[in-house]
Structure 1
Amino acid sequence: MSEGTRMEGGAPRKQGPLSAHPRGVAILGGAHGTLALARSLGRRGVPVWLITNDNPLPSWSRHVHRTLRWQGAADPGSVPFLRAAAAEHGLEGFLLVPAADAEVRLVAQSVEALSAAYNIALPGWERLKWVCEKPLLYRRAAELGVDVPPTYEFSSVEEAARAEIRFPVVLKPNMGGGRDSFSRAKVARADDKDGFLAAYREAAGQIGLDNVVVQELIPGGGESQFSYAALWSEGRPVAEFAARRGRQYPVDFGYTSTFVEVVEEPRVLEAARHILGDIGYHGLVEVEFKHDARDDRMRVLDVNPRPWSWFGLAAAAGVDLGAMLWDVAEGRDVAAKAARRKVSWMYLVRDAAAGSRLVATRRLRAGDYFRSFATVRAWAAFSASDPMPGLIDIPLTAWRVLTRRFLKIH
């Protein structure tokens, strides 16, 4: 963002002629993060509706009042559907929370149309694109003095073939939320020029050349990845903490976190504040970083302006971002709290697979793996007070893997 076009700080403008106090929350899409948010809100007695075309896991929660099925954020009729749903089901004035990447883009790009029916805790797209689209994020972060991974830009496959590239590299989609195989995989690795060009052509064929990001691979696995988790209001953090992705699945390029723990890492907090403050951010957010041991720098990777998979760690650590989101929406003051240390979150089924792999390759001792269970205070799906999602998670995951990976049904 150039100096001439930089957004001023502060809160986004009020959205529409609605009451300042929402009547409930409608969550668009998502899975484990949506489930954790619904539980935080449900414990406060807040009516929660789920609108989804994807993972039905959160709908099994006793805290989800009702689930509506739709064609998804990519459907041309998505905005009319949401407006009609508000009128038909009495959702006018509900807080609308997008919980997946495609839904984030839809809501941010349709703020004016949707704010006639809902309250929206998210900046419009002109602000939000500077953190959602990776090339814009890296450009603005560098201008703000935040470290970024070495990134290559090519205008054609031929230019990429001629370029001097330091391998290994990773290829990523510009922004998540796509339904193609490259977007669902999130990242592809290339160790030499031939492998890179093959992966680059395939990715460009699926999402377009301009939407493929090529970066130098930063060494290290999940243990090198850190996150900033927060709720922002009026361009300032209401509550925030740092966490470390101790393990992920798959272990080298994680599709999802499997073990996340609260840590103290002030560099993550400082860098994230620079990025989010620059656009006057508003709402829930996770900012991902990777520690580069070669020069001891924290390099920003991604910004997720929505509930994330390990969102339940926040409440377990005493910083219930979901409940705080409701308090802020209702205009109540929220006292800042420090997250409790030695608290972690686990996605048990996939962490068992990740842990087994790490132990088998001697990157983790079996004793250390089992000792990590001592700090777990939140699980991806299980909760003693809300048991059904935990019971359905394993068979549901197996069914989704079977239909999507092997039967190619989407």
Structure 2
Amino acid sequence: MNDSRRAQHVRRRRSVHPGGGSATVAGRLVDTSTPVLIVKLGRYPLHHGGVGAIRSLGRLGVPVFAITEDRFTPAAVSRYLSGHVPWPTTGLEDPQALVDGLLRIGRDIGRPAVLLPTDDEAAVLLAERADDLAGAFLYPRAADPGLARRVADKYGLHELCQKHEVPDADAVCPRSPAEVEDFARTARFPVVAKNREPFGRLRAPAVGSTTVVESPDQLLRLAARWPDDPGVLLQEYLPREHAEDWIVHGYLGSTSTPEVLFTGVKVRSWPPHAGITTSAVVVDNAELAALAADFAAQIGYRGILDLDWRYDRRDGRYKLLDFNPRVGAQFRLFETRGGVDVVRAQYLDLTGQPVPAGEQVEGRRFVAENFDLPARLGYGRQPRTLPPLPRRRAGTELAWFARDDLRPWLAMGARMVPVIVRRLLDTGRRRLAVRREAAAPSTRDLTQAL
């Protein structure tokens, strides 16, 4: 069956605000009649960012539609969803087929809708095919349609940082087994291995997720399974005992200036130190906000962004590690005192309405409750540093539980148990392998191994 035909018709459901209308944001009356379509490519049904976007917009009365894997995902059962499209994609379909499927959904919705991607692949597709989608949808457009792909490409981002003198971690992108071997001879370990680019990580991932490689031997064992051009980035490891993890979320309008820009500290992640954010807190950081805004303006970026930075205490610099050209899963950590988050800011801007200015809510916290417990166990007593956090809390946003929208939380729980068990087992296996490697006597030197 043609990939575009797999996009079923919108299954409309009775939501809280099915027709849209008006609402008050930061004391201003706003028009909420324009619908929104949440776009995802690939299979990841337990995505709290999509649920957060549905709730944030749906509570205003915006008609929200979403692409889902099936009709029982947490996003699909939210009471704030006006309709969903069961369309299980892989991200490897022909781009034209994906565009055709989106246009078909647009015809079903019946009026131009704001697009909101929740993964890098979807963000790249929407940016590069903006001309084809322009009549049916509203989406931020940068002067360079290829910019989203470049910032989402780990080595492309490294090159942009070098060009614009933005601090980042040293990185190489080996193109052959020989280059991996050369790197192993001279590099300082540990290093971080990441899949380099969108789509490639779905087609032939070099690593399952961001991986800390402890030794040359471990790298060579990984590389033994890689193809000639593995699509992997090998990045300098910034020791966690000398570093702080910061996040920046924002929305930049047509002039590449921030309509909203937020800063916070990542407290925990799962897997530990290298995965999704499970706990974070809003902390004002004017220096980092200025650094992020200047970089985004220099490259001409427009739209929602989610940036990961690491403050290196050894040299006193913030170093950019990741640039996600879409809404981050933990975006609901941040909002202004008037209730504007990045999703609402994009909606207002693209529908021709002013975005109310306002300060971020300092001390606000976020917890992804399904992964934070294993994250706490995973961190244990490992050495790490945190900057001073606000003593006064300003409320906690949970990723899943909401009194006014319980069904996504229940659906998450039904799907979560096997995921937690599998990840805990994987983490245990990795730790055991590292311990065995450290305990085993070396029978040959690195030169012989190569």
TM-score by length of 1: 0.83
Query: Hey, what does 1:74 align to over in structure 2?
Result: 92
* 1:221–1:252 CA contact under 8 A, matched in 2: no
> Aligned to 2:362, what secondary structure does the other structure show?
coil
Residue 193 (str. 1) matches residue 216 (str. 2)? yes
State the shift of 1:80 in Å.
1.1
State the shift of 1:397 in Å.
2.0
Name the CA shift for 1:110/1:403 in 2 (closer, same or farther; >3 Å): farther
> Aligned to 1:281, what secondary structure does the other structure show?
coil
Q: Measure, in 2, the Cα distance between the counterparts of 1:114 and 1:404.
A: 38
Gaps of 5+ in 1: 1-19, 365-370
Residue 335 (str. 1) matches residue 350 (str. 2)? no
State the shift of 1:100 in Å.
1.1
* 1:173–1:183 CA contact under 8 A, matched in 2: yes
Query: Hey, what does 1:274 align to over in structure 2?
Result: 294
Instruction: Map 1:3-402 to 2 at 5 A.
Output: 23-29=34-40, 31-53=47-69, 56-72=73-89, 73-76=91-94, 77-87=97-107, 89-123=108-142, 125-163=145-183, 164-176=186-198, 178-179=201-202, 182=205, 185-202=208-225, 204-205=226-227, 209=229, 211-220=231-240, 224-234=244-254, 235-253=256-274, 255-315=275-335, 318-359=339-380, 361=381, 363=383, 376-400=395-419
Q: Which residue identity lines up with residue 332 of structure 1 in the other structure?
A: Q
> Aligned to 2:165, what secondary structure does the other structure show?
coil
1:153-185 per-position Cα deviation (integer Å, ceiling 9, x unaligned): 433211221231111111101134533684773
Query: Hey, what does 1:10 align to over in structure 2?
Result: none
> Aligned to 1:37, what secondary structure does the other structure show?
helix
* 1:316–1:377 CA contact under 8 A, matched in 2: no
Q: Which residue identity lines up with residue 74 of structure 1 in the other structure?
A: L
> Aligned to 2:146, what secondary structure does the other structure show?
helix
* 1:346–1:376 CA contact under 8 A, matched in 2: no
Gaps of 5+ in 2: 1-30, 385-389, 426-450
Q: Measure, in 1, the Cα distance between the counterparts of 2:109 and 2:406.
A: 29
Q: Measure, in 2, the Cα distance between the counterparts of 1:322 and 1:97.
A: 8
* 1:74–1:102 CA contact under 8 A, matched in 2: no
Q: Measure, in 2, the Cα distance between the counterparts of 1:200 and 1:189.
A: 14
Name the CA shift for 1:290/1:114 in 2 (closer, same or farther; >3 Å): same
State the shift of 1:376 in Å.
4.6
Q: Which residue identity lines up with residue 370 of structure 2 in the other structure?
A: V
Task: State the number of aligned residues.
Answer: 378
Query: Hey, what does 1:3 align to over in structure 2?
Result: none
Name the CA shift for 1:402/1:362 in 2 (closer, same or farther; >3 Å): closer
Q: Measure, in 2, the Cα distance between the counterparts of 1:227 and 1:151.
A: 20
Name the CA shift for 1:404/1:351 in 2 (closer, same or farther; >3 Å): closer
Q: Which residue identity lines up with residue 288 of structure 1 in the other structure?
A: D
Q: Measure, in 2, the Cα distance between the counterparts of 1:357 and 1:376.
A: 25
Q: Which residue identity lines up with residue 64 of structure 2 in the other structure?
A: V
Identity %: 22
> Aligned to 1:268, what secondary structure does the other structure show?
helix
CA RMSD of aligned residues (A): 3.1
Moved more, 316-325 or 64-73: 316-325
Q: Which residue identity lines up with residue 58 of structure 1 in the other structure?
A: A
* 2:363–2:392 CA contact under 8 A, matched in 1: no
Q: Measure, in 2, the Cα distance between the counterparts of 1:141 and 1:356.
A: 35
Q: Measure, in 1, the Cα distance between the counterparts of 2:377 and 2:424.
A: 22
Q: Measure, in 2, the Cα distance between the counterparts of 1:119 and 1:67.
A: 18
State the shift of 1:26 in Å.
0.4
State the shift of 1:393 in Å.
1.6
* 2:362–2:394 CA contact under 8 A, matched in 1: no
Query: Hey, what does 1:12 align to over in structure 2?
Result: none
> Aligned to 1:334, what secondary structure does the other structure show?
coil
Q: Measure, in 2, the Cα distance between the counterparts of 1:397 and 1:103.
A: 24
* 2:206–2:231 CA contact under 8 A, matched in 1: no
Q: Measure, in 2, the Cα distance between the counterparts of 1:213 and 1:372.
A: 38
Name the CA shift for 1:91/1:278 in 2 (closer, same or farther; >3 Å): farther
State the shift of 1:217 in Å.
0.8
TM-score by length of 2: 0.76
> Aligned to 1:224, what secondary structure does the other structure show?
strand
* 1:190–1:199 CA contact under 8 A, matched in 2: no
Q: Which residue identity lines up with residue 325 of structure 1 in the other structure?
A: Q
Moved more, 158-167 or 183-192: 183-192
> Which of these two proteins has the greater Rg computed from alpha carbons?
2
Q: Which residue identity lines up with residue 146 of structure 2 in the other structure?
A: E
1:287-344 per-position Cα deviation (integer Å, ceiling 9, x unaligned): 1111112212111011111111111112486442222222112211122211111111
Query: Hey, what does 2:440 align to over in structure 1?
Result: none
